[in-house]
Amino acid sequence: MAPERVITYIDGYNLYYGLKEAGMQSSRCLDLKGMCESLTKKHQQLDLVRYFTTRVKNNPGASQRQGTFIDALEARGGIKIDYGHFLSKKTKCHSCGNEWTSSEEKKTDVNIAIRLLEDAHDGRFDTAIVVSGDSDLAPAIQSILSRTPKKRVVVAFPPKRHSSELQRVASGHFKIPRKSILSNHLPAVVTTPSGRPLKAPEGWLPQPAN
């Protein structure tokens, strides 16, 4: 019997901030493919990891750290990346009248929904694993399961992330085990196919035991 084909869809910022809120900052340099493989069952085969994120702007340090991580993921292979964008908006304090400009991430949930629907329609997976706690993905999941009832869409909640709506509409749900995170880190140095060494950002990997 052929293995059950799996594609994972990772909401990058949902996972990133979930790790930070859980005090797992030293696990930010995740081997996402390895983590996703640890979430599959024996009868399943991980065909692809889709990673959804937005490039950081207006913060050179954060942009460089993110760029190093993304380049390392691509160098390891088995992952495709979709980018959203940040939208600047002005906010005004009603009490003091001060105004400031903040950035809001846009399009990530839309990109995930589109890829899910496309892959389901094209028959690219038997089971989709969605790594997110964003309830905005519920309509896309509901649509897939109503139109293609033989497919499954399972939600894997990152640390400190949960959605009752996703739990309600998905075929199944679970919290990503700590072991899947702690045992799947990228190497301290990843070498690109061109020979360029990429050093993990400081504080993104656990310190080796003395």
DSSP collapsed to 3 states, 145-176: HHHCCCCEEEEEECCCCCCHHHHHHCCEEEEC
Decide: residue 208, CB within 10 A, 0-12 exposed, 13-18 middle, 19+ buried.
exposed
Q: Does residue 57 form part of some domain?
A: yes
Residue 91, domain extent: 4-184
Per-residue pLDDT, 204: 97
Instruction: Summarize pLDDT for 59-92 with one digit per residue, the tens.
Output: 899 999 999 999 999 999 999 999 985 454 555 5
- Is residue 17, in this structure, part of any structural domain at all? yes
Mean pLDDT value across the chain: 91
pTM above 0.95, yes or no: no
Going by the DSSP 8-state scheme, the letter that residue 25 receives in this structure is: G
Span 13-22, mean pLDDT?
96
- Total number of residues shown for the chain: 210
* 26 within a domain of the structure (yes/no): yes
pLDDT, position 99: 62
Helix (H) or strand (E) holding 60: helix 60-76
98 inside domain = yes
- Tell me the mean pLDDT in the region 176-195: 96
Spatial strand order of the sheet with 44-53 comes to 79-83, 44-53, 4-11, 127-131, 152-157, 172-175
Under the banding of pLDDT at 50, 70 and 90, the label for residue 1 is: confident
Task: Tell me if 100 is assigned to some domain.
Answer: yes
Residue 50 is part of a domain; what is its CATH number?
3.40.50.1010
Q: 203 lies in a domain? A: no
Q: Which two tokens stand for residue 100?
A: 């400031």
Task: Output the pLDDT for position 84.
Answer: 81
Q: Count CB-CB contacts under 10 A for residue 106.
A: 13
pLDDT confidence of residue 93 = 59
Element (H, E) at 100: strand 99-106
Residues 6 or more apart whose CB falls under 8 angstroms from that of 139 comprise: 113
| Structural domain includes residue 192 | no
pLDDT of residue 101 exceeding 70: no
User: Does some domain include residue 108?
Assistant: yes
Q: How far apart are CA 17 and CA 57, in angstroms?
A: 17
| pLDDT score, position 86 | 47
Look at the chain and report how many structural domains it folds into: 1
Phi, psi of 197 (to 5 degrees): -80, 135
**Residue 173 scores a pLDDT above 60:** yes
